[in-house]
Chain A
Amino acid sequence: MLYVVIGGSAGSFQTVTTILSELPKTFPHPMFLCLHRLKHIRSGFVEALRLKSKLTVHEPCDKEPIQPGQVYLAPANYHMYIERDNTIALSTEEPVNHSRPSIDITFVSAAKAYGTRCLGILLSGANKDGAFGLKTMKDEGGTVMVQSPDECQVKTMTAAAIKITDVDYIFQSSQIISYLQNLK
């Protein structure tokens, strides 16, 4: 089982919904979405992601066991960690990179827990959150990819990642989808 972790901020929502709409119901891996969002708006986001997804998308509770084929969306105003005992841990710690949830937190914890079994994908965004986490994932033996900055609505995030990490793939969203569809 792979741990597929996707991070994104400004301009990533459309890409994420497209990815979800193109994945089959039988997608065999757990997927974690850490997307920057308004901290005061708790409802509406997960419902919007569910609209076209064939996979079950939900906001996990703390210490929830991770299941294959489920999509876990970091809840508003919580950091989302991946724990070594195959569960999710939430936290209300201080924002990281002005963000809660922070993509770095989710990427790094996944990398530390599952190393080579991680696939990290960083999408469009307006700050550098996620860049360090993607580097850690690569250092720990995971596979890392970023959305092509040319395609990103805001390229700050992906450019920051490319600057510090020798990423495995720089893909257009159609290529990201294709890669995910072909995962065994």
Chain B
Amino acid sequence: MEDLTNITDEELRRIIQMVRTIDDVDLGQLQPVILRHRVWRFAMLQGFESASKLVEKLVTDRSLIHIFLQKISVPTTELFRDAEFWNELETIINEKLSIERFIKIWVPDICGDDELNSLLVILSRNNLLHKATIYATSPFQQVIDNSKESYIDPKKFETSEANFKRIHSDNTLLPYLERLEKNYKFSPALLDKVIFLKQCVSTDPPPDKGFNLILFRNRCLYYNPTTRRTALEKIGQSLMPGGYLALGFGENLDETDQQVLLTQASKTEKIYKKKQ
């Protein structure tokens, strides 16, 4: 790890301004300390000696901006991260949502596809895919394209399989994957059930309304406080009464209007239910 001090506030401002001008993406919505770390990490991985060299290159090379935007997002790193959460969510889906005639689900701001794919496995296992409408959205077209072609390398498969076995010890993820020569591909048949849309959760209208479930774990971590508040309020409004919102273990609804409109529906997980 090199020194974050190499990136000045002015350099960060220039990057934010440049990306906003060229790609209409507002990196200023991100949590400052994490944006600084992501920029540094990108500069290091691309072999730049300093942040100022990166800024110089970004000015002249638009293709680099697209790579930069792709890499600056924080991917989830495995399927079924936090096995206890997925166990709890599967219980709620089985006990509460399976009785609905239709189930409408939104996975906003996907980054990598692990959360979405884990959800698809749960729905498939419980024979609920046929009545589910699932939206997956991201402000980045590249992320959407990658999620439609969901590849899993062997190391990630190993970690994901271990997570899955923590909740289903006698089961395997293999039926949901296609084996390729060097890696795996997530089942296209399952991904076909998903409606992928380009959408920014804090600035664009939701893809639909009256959702039964919104899976939004560990995404607000990367938003600044204002953007987080806006995003959570929009998401809360698009839930139907009795609908569920899933956040990450390290998140909550503090400082938002939603803390009075939603109640925690799980003793151990940050799964909230909208009041009737």
Contact = CB atoms under 8 A, between A and B. Distances in A.
Q: Do these two chains interact?
A: yes
A75 B249 contact: yes
Contact of B250 (A90, A97, A112, A139): A90
Interface in B66-119: 74, 76-77, 81-84
B4 interface: yes
Interface in B226-264: 228, 248-252, 254-255
B3 A136 contact: yes
Contact of A89 (B3, B34, B218): B34
B250 A78 contact: yes
A166 interface: no
B221 A94 contact: no
Interface in A113-138: 113, 132-133, 136
B113 to A, nearest CB: 15
Most chain A beta-carbon contacts within 10 A, residue among B3, B33, B250: B250
Contacts of A108: 1, 3-4
B220 interface: yes
Contacts of A112: 4-5, 33, 36
Interface of A: 40, 42, 59-64, 75, 77-78, 81-84, 89-94, 96-97, 102, 104-105, 108-109, 112-113, 132-133, 136, 139-140
7 contacts: A42-B84, A60-B250, A77-B81, A93-B37, A93-B38, A105-B1, A139-B3
Interface of B: 1-5, 31-34, 36-38, 74, 76-77, 81-84, 166, 218, 220-222, 225, 228, 248-252, 254-255
